[in-house]
């Protein structure tokens, strides 16, 4: 017999922010747990691709041996089998810890709509965790599991990720089977994946995906296998709303700048059709599908459903079939309008959520504030897009801020490849654990191009005059770094644009020099090197971690009489000092 523990002692949905238990973690994140993590008895699981990883499942996803409540005690029932996705993950070697809290019947984006308690934010417990997959996001962010399953209809696999400093992978519809999942709106539901790194989320998707003929909405979808171009184009909404949250607006502009530094060009896209689709998800006949999902239970037990979930689902009774056909046609029309943006962009980038509310704020105005959290998520599944939420920054007030990359159906690997590079460049840590990100992993679905890594120290740095020679050849920024402490940097006289020269010296005579490491397709490397004028050239540089990389060096004879600027620690600081001197003279 499977041993399990049922947790039912959390505060009500109207309570104050959750009080952590003795471990410092909120018990409201869990609804039920196995006494001993559940593992597969299949022989192949012992060496499966997810061996050693532990996971949790949102409690609208069946797991044999634990009840499925969908966040409603009266709905609780014992499933007869694992959900298809749980079965696949167990077969791949992962072990299941238990079932997590959620906004009741996956109806909400904030994490406070549960009789098992409001799940607090993992970074600041006064704030919402985001929902409806609140518990799944919390247990990943706090390091209790390696990954967790959520579901996503309106953004429930992305908003909690953005608000808890973790990754939320919302696959293209139908990639993961939803058989054995209590639906919210079955035609647009997705099983989603939470993890602390893109690499882990991708491993889970690879292990769990596959066509399931027993799921009406499963499909075998062709996947794009080429990474986005090095000089990619990303869409930015024409109208951005942060609900007066200046910290979120600053963080979003920083995200735009980071993507530009990676080689991207920002393209303004018309957000109006996307915004209208987002509004239709809850404010039209589309809500009838939420009623249909649990109609038998709801009609018999309406009083057992909490507010505002009860009113939202009950509204689905008020629409006719004609109303539904009309709104479905409108969504198709808006989708045709939105499709025009793909002619000018490779993917769309939006804030995962426009702002961050406290639990008290959300409970005082649960419908309006919940709707605002979905401003940049509600349209995605209705228009059949893939999406990936990645952490971007910790705001000045200490709250996390995430962005979401959105692509056409089948772009999942492309989003993951670029999203992983973005996440690692952000310098963020893992969730609420404070641990650094693990090394980036190869995205198996992407066919890699032969590349060479090159260190630049001067006019080719990001934002400098010759940086275009890199980006026009498809080079992408990997990271900033420093040399080992045995180099001197000089300002070369008479060069246009101004350039530095770097020379290796004895260790006791050198300094660490800041540089950037770029990755360039090998097919373009020859044309780049041909542009380098004497006395500069390419040699081998030693970095402060003792590794080596190809990079710019200078012939020693050319440095006779050149100004030694090593004390600035890098070319950018030296250029900034010149600008400061000019300003001082002008004053």
Active-site residue list: 58, 132, 156
- Distance CA(387)–CA(406), nearest Å, equals 4
For the CA atoms of 179, 183, 188, 191, what is the dihedral angle to 10 degrees? -60
CA distance 200 to 193: 9
The answer to whether 529 and 460 are in contact (CB under 8 A) is: no
Partner residues linked to 482 by β-bridges: 514
Kindly give the pairing relationship between strand 385-394 and strand 167-170. Answer: antiparallel
CA dihedral 34, 37, 39, 45 (to 10 degrees): 150
Contacts of residue 422, Cβ cutoff 8 Å, sequence gap at least 6: 258, 259, 262, 390, 392, 403, 405
Sheet holding 400-408, edge to edge: 4-6, 30-38, 95-100, 54-58, 147-152, 190-195, 167-170, 385-394, 400-408, 347-351, 233-237, 265-269
Tokens of 411: 């772009």
- Going by C-alpha positions, the residue among 191, 187, 193, 182 that lies closest to residue 69 is 182
Tell me which DSSP letter residue 425 carries.
H
C-alpha distance from residue 64 to each of 80, 99, 180, 277, 283 (Å) = 6, 11, 10, 37, 36
Alpha carbon 233 to chain centroid, angstroms: 18
Q: Which two tokens stand for residue 257?
A: 């700048």
Give 241-303 as a 3 state SS string.
CCCCCHHHHHHHHHHHHHHHHCCCEEEEECCHHHHHHHHHCCCCHHHHHHHHHCHHHHHHHHH
- Is the backbone peptide bond immediately before 442 cis, with ω within 30 degrees of 0? no
Give the chain's end-to-end CA distance (angstroms, integer): 81
Give helix 321-339 / helix 272-280 axis angle, nearest 10°.
Answer: 160
Angle at 385 between CA 381 and CA 386, to 5 degrees: 105
For helices 198-208 and 412-426, the axis angle rounded to 10 degrees is 160
Distant-in-sequence, close-in-space partners of 369: CB < 8 Å, separation ≥ 6 = 110, 357, 361, 362
Residue 368: CB atoms within 10 A of its CB come to 9
CA distances from 361 to 123, 127, 356, 366 (A): 17, 9, 10, 8
């Amino acid at each position: 017999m499977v041993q399990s523990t049922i947790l039912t002692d959390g505060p009500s949905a109207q309570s104050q922010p959750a009080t952590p238990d003795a471990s410092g973690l909120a018990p409201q994140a869990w609804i039920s747990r196995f006494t001993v993590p559940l593992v597969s008895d299949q022989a192949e699981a012992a060496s499966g691709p997810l061996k050693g990883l532990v996971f949790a499942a949102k409690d609208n996803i069946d797991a044999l041996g634990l009840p499925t409540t969908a966040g409603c005690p009266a709905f609780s029932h014992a499933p007869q089998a694992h959900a298809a996705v749980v079965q696949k993950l167990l077969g791949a070697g992962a072990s299941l810890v238990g079932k997590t809290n959620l906004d009741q019947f996956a109806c909400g984006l904030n994490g406070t709509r549960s009789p098992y308690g409001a799940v607090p934010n993992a970074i600041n417990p006064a704030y919402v965790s985001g929902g409806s997959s609140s518990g799944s996001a919390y247990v990943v962010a706090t390091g209790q599991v390696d990954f967790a399953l959520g579901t996503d209809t309106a953004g429930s696999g992305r908003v909690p990720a953005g608000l808890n400093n973790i990754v939320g992978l919302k696959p293209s519809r139908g990639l993961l089977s939803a058989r054995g999942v209590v639906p919210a709106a079955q035609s647009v539901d997705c099983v989603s994946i939470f993890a602390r790194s893109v690499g882990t989320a991708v491993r889970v998707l690879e292990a769990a995906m596959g066509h399931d003929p027993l799921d009406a909405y499963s499909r075998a979808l062709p996947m794009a296998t080429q990474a986005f171009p090095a000089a990619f184009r990303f869409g930015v909404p024409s109208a951005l709303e942060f609900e007066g949250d200046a910290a979120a607006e600053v963080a979003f502009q920083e995200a735009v700048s980071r993507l530009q530094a990676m080689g991207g060009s920002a393209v303004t896209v018309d957000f109006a059709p996307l915004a209208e689709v987002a509004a239709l998800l809850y404010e039209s006949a589309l809500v009838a599908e939420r009623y249909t999902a649990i109609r038998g239970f709801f009609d018999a037990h309406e009083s057992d459903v909490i507010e505002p979930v009860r009113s939202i689902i009950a509204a689905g009774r008020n629409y006719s079939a004609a109303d539904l056909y009309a709104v479905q046609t409108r969504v198709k029309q808006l989708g045709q309008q939105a499709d025009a943006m793909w002619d000018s962009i490779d993917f769309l980038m939006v804030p995962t959520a426009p702002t961050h509310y406290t639990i008290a704020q959300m409970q005082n105005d649960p419908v309006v504030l919940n709707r605002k959290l979905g401003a940049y998520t509600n349209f995605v599944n209705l228009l059949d897009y893939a999406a990936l939420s990645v952490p971007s920054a910790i705001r000045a007030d200490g709250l996390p801020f995430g962005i979401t990359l959105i692509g056409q159906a089948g772009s999942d690997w492309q989003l993951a490849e670029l999203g992983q590079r973005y996440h690692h460049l952000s310098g963020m840590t893992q969730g609420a654990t404070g641990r650094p990100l693990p090394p980036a992993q190869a995205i198996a679905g992407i066919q890699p191009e032969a590349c060479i890594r090159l260190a630049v120290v001067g006019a080719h740095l990001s934002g400098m005059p010759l940086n275009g020679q890199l980006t026009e050849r498809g080079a992408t920024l990997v990271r900033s770094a420093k040399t080992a402490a045995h180099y001197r940097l000089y300002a070369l006289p008479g060069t246009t644009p101004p350039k530095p020269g770097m020379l290796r010296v004895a260790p006791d005579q050198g300094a660490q020099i800041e540089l950037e490491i770029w990755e360039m397709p090998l097919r373009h490397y020859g044309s780049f090197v041909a542009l380098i004028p004497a006395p500069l050239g390419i040699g081998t540089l030693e970095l402060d971690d003792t590794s080596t990389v190809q990079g710019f060096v200078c012939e020693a004879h050319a440095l006779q009489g050149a100004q030694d600027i090593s004390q600035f620690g890098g070319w950018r600081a030296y250029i900034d000092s010149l600008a400061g001197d000019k300003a001082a003279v002008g004053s």
